[in-house]
Amino acid sequence: MQVFVDGEEMRAEAICSLKSKTKVQHFLECIGMNRESVIVKANGRILTENDCINPGDRIDLIRVSSGG
Amino acid sequence: MCASHLSAYVEKRIGNNMRNYKMIKGRRRIGIAVSGGKDSQVMMHAMRKLIGKDRRRELIAITVDEGIRGYRDKSIECVVKYAELLGIEHHIFSFNDFAVQMDALMNKGRTDPCSYCGVFRRWILNKASRELSLDALAIGHNLDDVVQTLQLNIMRNEPLRIARFTPNGGVFNDRMFVPRIRPMFNIPEKEIIVYALIKSIPFHNGECPYAGHALRNPVREFINDMESKYPGIKFRMLNSYLSLLNHLNFPALRDNSILRCSSCGEPSSSKICKRCSFLNSAISHS
C-alpha cells in the first residue's frame, strides 16, 4: 500500500503491517492520525470513516488544517 | 452523505447564514477576503454562485500579501487565476506598503509572528475595504476557526474580543469600520475541504512557515482530539458561544467609544493603535 500525505510519500511501519481490508477509522488510528485532521482518498475517491481500504490501494491523505 | 448532497448542504448553509444573520441586507458592494487557501476560495466560489447574479450587488475580492516567500506568492497565484475565472474584480494589498514584510520581520529575530501578522492584516483589510467603498467584508472563518478563537480568547483573558467576534460584525458602529461577515462560521473545516475537492476548486494547501509558533496549534489539536472522542463538541461549543453573545454587555461596546490613532488616524481602542505601536517597535529594533 502506498500512502501519500499532501502528495509526499509517507513511510511508516504501521502501513506495512496492514495486510488486509481495513476500515478508514482503524487505518488512521494505526498511523497515529486524528480523523478530524485529514481527508482520506483511495485511488482518487474520497472515503468516509466507515469505508474500507485495501492493501493494494493508493491512499492520499489531505491535511485539513493548513495556512496560519 | 454523497458528494452532491454535501455540496448542496454546504451552499444551503452559507445561503441561510447570509439570510438569517442579514449579512448582505442593504449592502451593495460586498468584499471577499481571499488568501488562496481552501476556506476563502470556497467562500468566493459559493458567494459567486449564490449572489453573483444579483445585479444590485457587486463582489470584490481582496488579498493581503504579507511578504512570505514560498508561501503567500503561491497562494496568490491561485486567487488571481480563480478570481479571473469567476469574473470577480480582485485587488492585492501588500505589507510592503503599510507594514513590515513578514520575512524581513522574522529575519530580525521576532518570536511572535502571528501577533504581528494578524494585527497588520486586519488593519490593512479594514483600510482597503474602506478605500474600495465596500459595505461589508466576508471572511472565510469556519466552525473550527470560530471555536479555536473562542478557546484562545478565553485562555488569553480577552472577553471583549469574544464579544466582537460575531457572525455578522459591526459591533462598533463607526464609519471608519467596514463590518465583517462570516458566512461559513458554522461549517466544519473538513466539509469545506471536501466541497473544494468535489467542485475542483483550486487552492493552496501549504502551511505558513511561521505558523509553528502559534498557540492556535495545540488548541486545534486539543479540540480535534475532543471531537474524535466526543463527537459534536465543536457544534456544542459554537452554540454555547452564540447563546453567550446575547448576554455579553461590556461598557466599551455600550458606549461605542472608539478613538482615532494619533499616528495613522485609523480607529483604535487606545491613543496609538496596535499596528502603529508594532510598527514603531519593529523599526526601533532594526
pLDDT at residue B155 is higher than 90: yes
Q: Who among B3, B114, B193 is closest to A62 (CB)? A: B193
| Chain A residues with a Cβ under 8 Å from any Cβ in chain B | 6, 34-37, 39, 46, 62-68
* Greater pLDDT, B278 or B237: B237
pLDDT at residue A7 is higher than 60: yes
| Residues B210-235: tens digit of each pLDDT | 887 778 889 999 999 999 999 999 99
Residue-range definition of the domain harbouring residue A54: 2-63
Is A68 among the domain residues?
Answer: no
CB contact under 8 A, B38 and A66: yes
Mean pLDDT across B155-181? 83
CB contact under 8 A, A37 and B224: yes
B11: amino acid identity, one letter = E
Q: How many domains does one find in chain A? A: 1
Is A7 among the domain residues?
Answer: yes
For chains A and B, CB pairs below 8 A equal: 48
* Cα separations in angstroms, A37 against A12, A14, B191, B246, B265: 18, 18, 11, 32, 42
Closest CA of chain B from A36, distance in Å: 6
User: ∠ at Cα B175 (B174, B181), nearest 5°?
Assistant: 75
Mean pLDDT across B142-158? 94
Q: Which three cell numbers stand for residue B276?
A: 502603529
| Residues B240-277: tens digit of each pLDDT | 999 988 787 766 666 656 788 898 888 888 889 888 88
A60 phi/psi in degrees, rounded to 5: -115, 125
DSSP-derived secondary structure letter, A67: B
* Greater pLDDT, B41 or A48: B41
Q: Is residue B64 a contact partner of residue B99, using CB atoms and an 8 Å limit? A: no
Domains, chain B: 9-253 (3.40.50.620)
Is A9 among the domain residues?
Answer: yes
d(CA B101, CA B117): 9
ipTM of the complex as predicted: 0.83
| Helix, strand, or coil (residue B235) | helix
DSSP-derived secondary structure letter, B179: P
Q: Who among B117, B190, B205 is closest to A6 (CB)? A: B205
d(CA B42, CA B74): 17
Picking from B66, B152, B136, the residue whose alpha carbon sits closest to that of residue B102 is B66
Picking from B136, B133, B134, B162, the residue whose alpha carbon sits closest to that of residue B150 is B162
For residue B59, with 0-12 CB atoms within 10 Å meaning exposed, 13-18 middle and 19 or more buried, which class applies? buried
- pLDDT tier at B97, thresholds 50, 70, 90: confident
pLDDT at residue B203 is higher than 70: yes
Domain of residue A38, CATH code: 3.10.20.30
| Segment (H or E) for B137 | strand B136-138
Structure pTM?
0.90
Picking from B93, B72, B89, the residue whose alpha carbon sits closest to that of residue B32 is B89
